[in-house]
Structure 1
Amino acid sequence: MQVRIEDVSPVEKKMFVEIPWETVSQRLGNAYKELGKGVALKGFRKGKVPRPVLEQVYGQRVNAEVAYELVRESFFRANQEHQLAAVAEPRVEEAAAIKKGQPFTFAAIIEVRGEVAPQDYKGLAIEKRKLAIPETAVDEALAALRREHTELRPIEGRDVTAAGDIVGLSVSGTIGEHQINQPQFAVDLDDEEREPLPGMRQALLGIPLDSKDQKLELQIPEDYKDESIRGRKAELTFTVLEVRAKEVPALDDEFAKDTGKADTLDGLRAALRKDLEERESETIDREAREGVLRELVKKNQIPIAASLVERAVEMQYQRLRQMLGMKPDRKDPTAGLTDDLREKMRPQGADEVRGQLLLEAIADKETIAVTDQELNKHVDETAKARNIAPAKLRAEWQRDGRIDNVTYSLRQDKVLKYLVEQATVTEVETLSQPGTPLPGVSEGVSEGEAHEGHVHGPDCNH
């Protein structure tokens, strides 16, 4: 086989291939031999059809199949021998028909990773928020903890609802043109944020505990958050199913002890502040990594293969569907991804790929690697979060071929931390511009992202 490679662009090469007739003839012979085993034609016993007859009936199909296999094999061989670093299957542009006694020739465009030489990646200017937890945040955390420890008691000594009650209802009726039929749901008469409809909490205050088939009319404001029912009139019929009174614990030392976090109320506030500071520190560190990655990509607008961008766009779209609570379409994961939406998502997809390639190159240049101890620690932490044995999780990842991808993503995150350490950092109260999260890199590693953490190519095993 003769192969000639020409550069088309920094991320494209053209491959010219000539395969001698001897090789083509052997492949054709094997194909007809395999075909003949299962073919039964009129006048011939199964497996006894002469090759000339097979060529006459199936020649066009066999030639196409052999040509396809020769192209694929030639591509993978050339990719390895010439170290092309291809990132997608070849795009055949010129292919001669298979003719007896003549070599088979074809030309194909191959998208490649291209040379990645990161520039100016040390001393990147980034902002980092100061760690500041206001007392109001501690108050909110304390209030949330009280809600967790709130008990619901049967109503005693009264026959109407009151503030602090949880009212279970069945509701039917209409809101404008929308039909409503909720056989069972609860309304917290104290919780304004989760009020099902504006004015509903007030309407349910002071009603008999055994209310049945009661009418309720509400006018939805024109500026209501749900656009679909703005300005509509709600005409409902409800029945009270159950009412419970909330017993909220007092804010005292006994409550602190009940939480198991501290022995005194002051100690509980201190413990909650520490938790908030730890979470906020993690957020600030993540923002710094996102910021340094944004600046790195901004300074290194390297050319990238179109197929990598399209793949990144499709992954972004699938993540977007998951964020919106949409079920994945297994038959067509990109269902609904219109051309206009693709076009809008391409710039971010391109920068996502650039970020991954640049981080890989920096890791190689700075000899940054993931140690066995670091990988083991990640396995242990993930196993603990999933409440399974670390050995079982590792075996699962090895069985599914995820270990290498998890290691890759850990390495990417390690490079980001290195870049933050090397950056010129300005502490600020508020970031002037947010970083762009790049899943599989700046968000750390999660099991669901294991296959997203690197730039895929034809040699991937998934």
Structure 2
Amino acid sequence: MQAQLETLNGLERRLSFSIPRDEISKRVDARLKNVAKTAKIAGFRPGKAPLNIVAQQYGFRVQEEVLGETVERSFGEAVQAQQLQVAGYPRFEPKADAPAEGDFQFVATFEVYPEVKLGDLAGRELEKPTLSVGEAEVDKTVEILRRQRTRFDRVERAAQDEDRVIIDFKGTIAGEAFEGGSAENYAFLLGKGQMLADFEAGIRGMKEGETKDVEVRFPEDYQGKDVAGKTAVFAITVKNVAEPKLPEVDAEFAKALGIADGDVTKMRAEVRKNLEREVRLRLKARLKESVMSVLIEAAPVDLPRALVGMEIGRLAEQAQADLKARGIDPKLVPFSPAMFEAQAKRRVHLGLVLADLVKAHDLQAKPEQVKAIVEDLAENYEDPTDVVAWYYEKRERLAGPESMALEDNVVEFVLGQVKSVEKAVAFDELMGQQG
């Protein structure tokens, strides 16, 4: 087989190659003889039809199959001989100016993996987030746990912020009802920004049983384009006002959190233990993200369009699966490749850099590292021993822990190269909560 390689734009390559016609003919004849052994052709018993009759009925399909298989195999041999790393899938086409007779001639257009060159990390600075868990952080977490168990008690007073209100409302614009402008027994927390400010302001001060017309102006950038920038009048009836009641931090509260004997001191110790683990994981995730950003900046590289396109497809599929899991029809949510392009490019870029870095510095996950991660993950369950056994029952279940160990090795390597500066992080910022 003869092959000629051309460099097009950037990472794109074109490989022209030929396949001897007699080679295809021999393989087609051999394949037809096998087909003839079981072929069912009208007028003949199975496997008894003459070869020329079999060729008339199956010859074209068999030649297509043989030619396709031979083209792919020949391409594989050619790129191996040229020591090329193909990114994505090649596009095969018959050579446009090939003569009708003689050998089959094809052109494969494809991209190759870029060469990754990691720049000097020694001159780069990286912030290493830190946070110590103390009594104040435990107090905040206990308060959050209390809020999660809030009970609402009916009151006869006027509604105020923090109350849960249940209302009926009917909205009109210029006297006409509009889609989504009406509901019955609608519950929400007042003062939390769950409704438009004008709407909440109108309800604030109303009592159970009261009805009131409230004028509400929709923002110009409101998501409902039909009502954006318009003013509506809502007829609102308050059906229930309930004030929040947080549970006391006592034995019953401790039991609700899994402390069998209701010991509040034990409960706080358990909260602290879980909080320290969560803080450690979040700090680790934030540090990893910073390390990955440093690697991307230190190793600019051309990205194969084929790999980016494949990653966009994967991200779109994940997004659709997530919508389905939440009971939302993906067809109702318009998806565009542009929505995922930046994320896809980042992931492809990181994948290329990490693969080169791991290979160059032997950063593969070690069995003892994987085991330690599995045991740490298992600590979240009632019987850690069973969870560890589950991970090791099937090889593919270790893929996640192995990936985590590999990332840990990369982070450690980069931290050993760059100048790291510790930076304290606020508890609320790290946990994504307000005090």
Structure 2 length-normalised TM? 0.70
Return the offset for 1:185.
4.1
SS across alignment from 2:72: helix
Tell me which residue corresponds to 1:370: 365
CA change 1:282–1:62 in 2 (3 A) is: same
Tell me which residue corresponds to 2:289: 290
1:156-305 matches, cutoff 5 A: 166-168=164-166, 171=168, 173-174=170-171, 176=173, 177-180=178-181, 182-188=183-189, 191-193=190-192, 195-198=194-197, 199-200=199-200, 203=203, 207-208=207-208, 211=209, 215-223=211-219, 226-228=222-224, 231-236=230-235, 238=237, 240=239, 246-250=244-248, 263=264, 279-280=278-279, 282-305=281-304
The one-letter amino acid paired with 1:179 is: G
Alignment check: 8 A CA contact 2:146 2:246 kept: yes
1:284-433 matches, cutoff 5 A: 284-318=283-317, 336-338=335-337, 341=338, 346=341, 349-382=344-377, 389-395=387-393, 398=395, 401=396, 403-404=398-399, 407-408=402-403, 410-427=405-422
The one-letter amino acid paired with 1:109 is: T
Question: What is the distance in 2 between the residues matched to 1:414 and 1:255?
Answer: 42
Query: Considering only aligned residues, what root-mean-square deviation do their CA atoms show, in Å?
Result: 4.9
The one-letter amino acid paired with 2:88 is: A
Query: 1:307-327 deviations in whole A, cap 9, x for unaligned?
Result: 112222333444566788897
Tell me which residue corresponds to 2:432: none
Alignment check: 8 A CA contact 2:116 2:299 kept: no
The one-letter amino acid paired with 2:89 is: E
Return the offset for 1:415.
0.9
Question: What is the distance in 2 between the residues matched to 1:404 and 1:273?
Answer: 30
Alignment check: 8 A CA contact 1:90 1:111 kept: yes
Return the offset for 1:419.
0.7
Tell me which residue corresponds to 1:52: 52
Return the offset for 1:362.
1.5
Alignment check: 8 A CA contact 1:216 1:238 kept: yes
Bigger Cα displacement from structure 2, 229-238 vs 112-121 = 229-238
1:100-115 matches, cutoff 5 A: 103-115=103-115
SS across alignment from 1:87: strand
CA change 1:329–1:215 in 2 (3 A) is: closer
CA change 1:331–1:238 in 2 (3 A) is: closer
Return the offset for 1:276.
6.2
Alignment check: 8 A CA contact 1:195 1:201 kept: no
Give the percent of matched residue pairs that are identical in Structure 1 and Structure 2.
21
Question: What is the distance in 2 between the residues matched to 1:87 and 1:14?
Answer: 13
Return the offset for 1:194.
5.3
Query: 1:118-172 deviations in whole A, cap 9, x for unaligned?
Result: 332445322345648899977754542321343455x5xx766766754445x35
1:90-101 matches, cutoff 5 A: 90-95=90-95
Alignment check: 8 A CA contact 1:168 1:243 kept: yes
Question: What is the distance in 2 between the residues matched to 1:380 and 1:390?
Answer: 6
CA change 1:218–1:364 in 2 (3 A) is: same
The one-letter amino acid paired with 1:309 is: V
The one-letter amino acid paired with 1:148 is: Q
Tell me which residue corresponds to 2:428: none
Structure 2 unaligned residues grouped into runs of 5+: 426-435
1:18-167 matches, cutoff 5 A: 18-21=18-21, 23-33=23-33, 35-36=35-36, 37-41=38-42, 47-56=47-56, 58-78=58-78, 84-95=84-95, 103-129=103-129, 131=131, 141-152=141-152, 166-167=164-165
The one-letter amino acid paired with 2:63 is: N
Alignment check: 8 A CA contact 1:321 1:327 kept: no
Question: What is the distance in 2 between the residues matched to 1:359 and 1:226?
Answer: 42
SS across alignment from 1:422: coil
Return the offset for 1:28.
0.7
Query: 1:186-228 deviations in whole A, cap 9, x for unaligned?
Result: 334xx521544544486375634xx4xx644322245599543
Question: What is the distance in 2 between the residues matched to 1:93 and 1:150?
Answer: 67
Question: What is the distance in 2 between the residues matched to 1:132 and 1:224?
Answer: 45
Question: What is the distance in 2 between the residues matched to 1:328 and 1:150?
Answer: 27
Return the offset for 1:370.
0.9
Alignment check: 8 A CA contact 2:165 2:188 kept: yes
CA change 1:17–1:238 in 2 (3 A) is: same
Alignment check: 8 A CA contact 1:289 1:420 kept: no
CA change 1:320–1:330 in 2 (3 A) is: closer
CA change 1:308–1:205 in 2 (3 A) is: same
Question: What is the distance in 2 between the residues matched to 1:368 and 1:57?
Answer: 57
Return the offset for 1:366.
1.5
The one-letter amino acid paired with 1:85 is: Q
Question: What is the distance in 1 between the residues matched to 2:213 and 2:330?
Answer: 45
Question: What is the distance in 2 between the residues matched to 1:336 and 1:150?
Answer: 38
The one-letter amino acid paired with 1:67 is: L
The one-letter amino acid paired with 1:118 is: L
The one-letter amino acid paired with 1:369 is: Q
Question: What is the distance in 1 between the residues matched to 2:86 and 2:400?
Answer: 19
Question: What is the distance in 2 between the residues matched to 1:392 and 1:254?
Answer: 35
Alignment check: 8 A CA contact 2:152 2:244 kept: yes
SS across alignment from 1:89: strand
Bigger Cα displacement from structure 2, 313-322 vs 23-32 = 313-322
Alignment check: 8 A CA contact 2:206 2:238 kept: no
Alignment check: 8 A CA contact 1:252 1:264 kept: no
Work out the number of aligned pairs and report it: 407
SS across alignment from 1:179: strand
Alignment check: 8 A CA contact 1:3 1:15 kept: no
Bigger Cα displacement from structure 2, 294-303 vs 248-257 = 248-257
The one-letter amino acid paired with 1:288 is: L
Structure 1 unaligned residues grouped into runs of 5+: 431-462
Return the offset for 1:64.
2.3
CA change 1:143–1:172 in 2 (3 A) is: same
SS across alignment from 1:370: coil
SS across alignment from 2:355: helix
